[in-house]
Copies of this chain bind each other. A is one copy, B any other.
Amino acid sequence: MEYIKKPVDIELRSFEIIESELGDKAKSFSKEHLPIVKRVIHTTADFEYADLLEFSEDAVESCIKALKEGGKIYCDTQMIANGLSKMTLGKFGYSAYSLVSDPEVAKEAKERGVTRSIVGMEKAAKDKDTKIFLIGNAPTALFRLKELIDSGEVEKPALIVGVPVGFVGASESKEILPGSGIPHIIVKGRKGGSTVAVSILHGILYQIYKREGF
């Protein structure tokens, strides 16, 4: 059977199809947001994300500024940390990490009867090098991070990507970001997930690449 075998051809053709099917809806996004919307659709094959993604005005620029200063990205799943392009992050002096599989985090979570996501987030948020947060799984991680910021224990980060997927708490957790003054990108409602979180950050990284090269 004949099939396209060249990676560059596949990627280009995919984005042409997405652009064509998005149609006029593409015009409702700014030039910083549209590449992110398209990349999320590329990752999920789900055009509903064009209606569900919401950006704070400063989200992309705040993230780009933070990336250029070096630092760390906290991910609420190991899959997100693993899915991010290490090579590209490395060029900015950035690394991505998750603590949900950390044995000490697991032990403390069990003792306290809370999710590992809560305990992992508490440790990550108190590390001043952690400037960007990607939350694709656990509403509890997002709730806890917001509590720590509101109470002043933790500074406002450069960006929160709030895209936990699910049926219990996911929608509600994402509603706490709009109006908070924290740079954020969210997926409204139940949808989201690890691959969505990765594609949002890649959608920002590729913009820097396009603007400036490396």
Chain A interface (Cβ < 8 Å from any Cβ of B): 1, 3-7, 9-10, 13-14, 17-18, 42-46, 77-79, 82-83, 109, 113-116, 118, 139-140, 143, 147, 165-170, 172-173, 176, 189-195, 198
- The chain B residue with its CB closest to the CB of A12 is B168
Copies of this protein, total: 2
**Residues in B whose Cβ lies below 8 Å from that of A118:** 5
Asked if residues A45 and B195 are in contact (CB atoms below 8 Å), the reply is: no
Looking at the complex, which one of B45, B83, B189 makes contact with A194 (CB distance below 8 Å)?
Answer: B83
Main secondary structure, interface of A, reads helix
| Given A1-B176, A3-B139: A10 touches B168 (CB 8 Å cut-off) | yes
| Given A6-B114, A10-B168, A114-B6: A46 touches B45 (CB 8 Å cut-off) | no
Asked if residues B143 and A3 are in contact (CB atoms below 8 Å), the reply is: yes
**Residues in B whose Cβ lies below 8 Å from that of A139:** 3
Return A17 CB to nearest CB of chain B, in Å. 4
Asked if residues A14 and B167 are in contact (CB atoms below 8 Å), the reply is: yes
- The chain B residue with its CB closest to the CB of A191 is B45
